[in-house]
Amino acid sequence: MKITYYQRRPLDIHYSLEQIFDNVRAKLPEGIESNVWVSPYFSKGLRPRIRMIFAARKFQGDINHITGDINFIAIGLKKQKTILTIHDLGILNNTKNPLLRWILKTFWITLPVKYANAITVVSDTTKTELLSMIKINADKVKVIGNFIPDSFKYNPKKFNSEKPRILHIGSAYNKNLDRLIEAVKNIKCHLVIIGFPTLEQKESILSYNISHEILSGISDEELLNQYQKCDLLSFVSLLEGFGLPILEAQATGRPVLTSNLSSMPEVAGKGACLVDPYDIRSIESGIKNIINNEHYRQLIIERGLINIKRFSLGEVTNQYINLYYEIYSKI
């Protein structure tokens, strides 16, 4: 069986989607041959995307697996051979323009789902959202979660309750950095932001005299180092298809503060402090509870280490392998 993995051309130095399937391919058994098609074009603009559809057609295998982001290339592939992985539906939140929203829904969700034999999503939350959005047989949608990279291992650290180092991942709108800044302005801490905060966000941090550092475009090795150096993770997003930083922090042995909505409770299990991400006081209270309550802090760390066992690479890979054989046998 020959599988072609279709991958986007990444826009920055982080290759999260690509790393997921690099690891999956490394675990494939004998009898499965994998090839990787990386788009020669960035997914920006109409003409490059049309070219991607035609270019992708020339590299089809016995199974075609679109690994995310460039969903629309499914239009040019053979339906009975094609698997589409949808990581989240956040693309529809990128605009309030009704016409543009219709275009995004049609070419990133409706048509790709129609032209695929099977759909995989990374959480039950994403599956529920997808089924509520378009008419599709629920059996066509399989939930296969993400896994924790092998580099993230338990690395205990004495908690700095006097001035905890709070790690916050991401600066896009859904990452909710503005409310986090408001929540920590009266908490003695050191805020570490991984991403590209806006000028307004930087000015807010300075105006509140928050001890901080901003790290942009860092390597995966440095990201791992930041998990190890932090005292707790802030991941109070408004929307997530999955929420891998939750598991990365749990695997490292750090207490996690995350949201009580979207996929985050599903991913975190019992190993996190859940807060209302729209409520600044809720975020502030959650952070203070982790800082001041040693018993509670240790409890969510221990529960986090139990929770990560659900997301091993071997388990995730086996689910993909079973799906490949299921489709191949029918072909």
Residues ≥6 apart with Cβ < 8 Å to 277:
176, 179, 236, 237, 238, 259, 260, 261, 283
Written as six digits, the tokens of 286 are 């959650």
Non-local (6+) Cβ contacts of 295 within 8 A are none
SS3 content of the chain, % helix, strand, coil (to 5): 50, 15, 35
Sign of CA dihedral 309, 24, 85, 9: positive
Q: How would you label 127-156 residue by residue, b for 16+ Cβ within 10 Å and e otherwise?
A: bebbeeeeeeeeeebbbbbbbbbeebeeee
The DSSP secondary-structure symbol of 261 reads: S
DSSP 93: G
Containing 325, the helix (H) or strand (E) segment is helix 313-330
From residue 115, alpha-carbon distances to 72, 282, 320 in Å are: 9, 43, 19
- pLDDT values of the chain reduced to their tens digit, one per residue, 331 residues: 999 999 999 776 445 677 789 989 999 999 999 999 999 999 999 999 999 999 999 999 999 999 999 999 999 999 999 999 999 888 887 778 899 999 999 999 999 999 999 999 999 999 999 999 999 999 999 999 999 888 899 999 999 999 999 999 999 899 999 999 999 999 999 999 999 999 999 999 999 999 999 999 888 899 999 999 999 999 999 999 899 999 999 999 999 999 999 999 999 999 999 999 999 999 999 999 999 999 999 999 999 999 999 998 998 999 999 999 999 999 8
Report the top-level CATH class of 2-147+312-330: alpha beta
- Cβ 244 vs Cβ 235: under 8 Å: no
Q: Where are the beta strands (DSSP E) in the chain?
A: 2-7, 33-38, 63-66, 82-86, 118-121, 141-143, 165-169, 190-194, 211-215, 232-235, 256-259, 273-275
Reduced to 3 states (helix: H, G, I; strand: E, B; else coil), residue 35 is: strand
Task: Give 80's contacts (C-beta < 8 A, 6+ positions apart).
Answer: 117, 327, 330, 331
AA identity, residue 112 = P
* Domain coordinates in residue numbering, the chain: 2-147+312-330, 165-310
Which pair of structure tokens corresponds to residue 263? 């996929």
Domains 2-147+312-330 and 165-310 share a fold: yes
Query: Any bridge partners for residue 142, and if so which?
Result: 120
What distance in Å separates the CA atoms of residue 311 and residue 45, rounded to the nearest whole number? 36
Q: Which CATH number fits domain 165-310: 3.40.50.2000, 3.40.630.30, 1.10.3720.10, 3.30.565.10?
A: 3.40.50.2000
Give the torsion sign (CA, 221, 40, 243, 120). Answer: negative
Global pTM reads 0.82
